Chain A
């Protein structure tokens, strides 16, 4: 901990703090907006998986995925507190603003991480628990501690942690890791670089000041824009895989094609012009893109009308 700059400030809120304020600050440590997408994709993984699990245990599994993701976010905030206080996007977080002490955040994160893995193992199954533990460890040790500050490929490789929730959800229900869950993993994994690099392009000053080697800072905007377009093209192709293997139907294909073309158009505009507004548009749209793709999977399966039943027979 000695390598960090001095931000070991005491909690400044003082006696005026209510329980509600503490609750809000500790909730913020869990990165609720990131958590919401993790929970959603994890839920879709569970919903798509073959198998039976009591609905109470399904809720437990979702809570464990949510808490595990949030806990790793809290530990990430503990480790990154030195750079969080420099970046305008993050300096209002509970630790750099002095509302939560670093030690409290670390304890909170470690307890929740351990608790979520244990409950998942005891209540659901140990494969899902192992995958959850791996995801938390990968996010903390591989991404946060190692890659984030050492390579511009940080969010590419680190993106694996954010892509694993559907695999955990699938394993919670079926007790295995199937090709279908790996395809859901691949969709999120390949979606991550264009999503984060679009943000990094218009936040490059922030990352520069904090010394985080994001691609626009290390290789320049032009190279970043090329990479965004390249990953967007692969994303378009891989997003059709759920249909090809028969786990999705017509609605999914329509939504994927429409959203995929829009994604490519926005990525092309970032590549061609690279204005801040284009980067913001791509970043915002990419969140909607992932949400609608996974929503389409849910709706398709809920309707129970597989468009290609001959394929569904092969895989289920």
Chain B
């Protein structure tokens, strides 16, 4: 019997479809907010 090894693409899709993805999406947004604060700081310093 042939077994199909999961590929990176299917792993990613499974992650996107999982409940965990929302947590990391929120985390990503918050991290982006921090990066934005940092960029504004640097721009103001120039």
Q: How large is the interface on B (under 10, 10 to 19, 20 to 34, 35 or more residues)?
A: 10 to 19
A63 to B: closest C-beta gap in Å = 30
**Interface contact B41-A186, CB-CB below 8 Å:** no
Task: State which residues 154-206 of A face B: CB under 8 Å.
Answer: 156-157, 179, 182-183, 186, 189-190
B39 to A: closest C-beta gap in Å = 11
A299 sits at the interface (CB 8 A): no
A219-B20, A223-B20 are known contacts. Are A156 and B38 too (CB-CB below 8 A)? Answer: no
A241 sits at the interface (CB 8 A): yes
Q: State which of B19, B26, B37 has its C-beta within 8 Å of the C-beta of A238.
A: B37
Residues of A within 8 Å of B38, CB to CB, are: 241, 244
**Interface contact A186-B27, CB-CB below 8 Å:** no
Q: Mark B18-40, 1 if CB is under 8 A from A, else 0.
A: 01101100110011011001101
A179-B40, A179-B41 are known contacts. Are A227 and B27 too (CB-CB below 8 A)? Answer: yes
Provide the bound-state CA to CA distance between A156 and B28, in Å. 12
Interface of chain B, main secondary structure = helix
A245 sits at the interface (CB 8 A): yes
**Interface contact A218-B19, CB-CB below 8 Å:** yes
**Interface contact A183-B23, CB-CB below 8 Å:** no
B44 sits at the interface (CB 8 A): yes
A156-B30, A234-B30, A234-B31 are known contacts. Are A241 and B23 too (CB-CB below 8 A)? Answer: no
Q: State which of B23, B26, B33, B44 has its C-beta within 8 Å of the C-beta of A219.
A: B23
Interface of chain A, main secondary structure = helix
A261 sits at the interface (CB 8 A): no
A179-B44, A241-B41, A314-B45 are known contacts. Are A152 and B23 too (CB-CB below 8 A)? Answer: yes
Q: State which of B27, B37, B44 has its C-beta within 8 Å of the C-beta of A231.
A: B27
Residues of B within 8 Å of A153, CB to CB, are: 22-23, 26
Residues of A within 8 Å of B33, CB to CB, are: 186
Residue of B nearest to A230 (CB): B27
A86 sits at the interface (CB 8 A): no
Binding site for A on B (CB under 8 A): 19-20, 22-23, 26-27, 30-31, 33-34, 37-38, 40-41, 44-45
A-B complex: 7 closest residue pairs judged by Cβ atoms: A245-B41, A238-B34, A153-B26, A156-B26, A234-B31, A230-B27, A234-B34
Binding site for B on A (CB under 8 A): 152-153, 156-157, 179, 182-183, 186, 189-190, 215, 218-219, 223, 227, 230-231, 234, 237-238, 241, 244-245, 311, 314-315
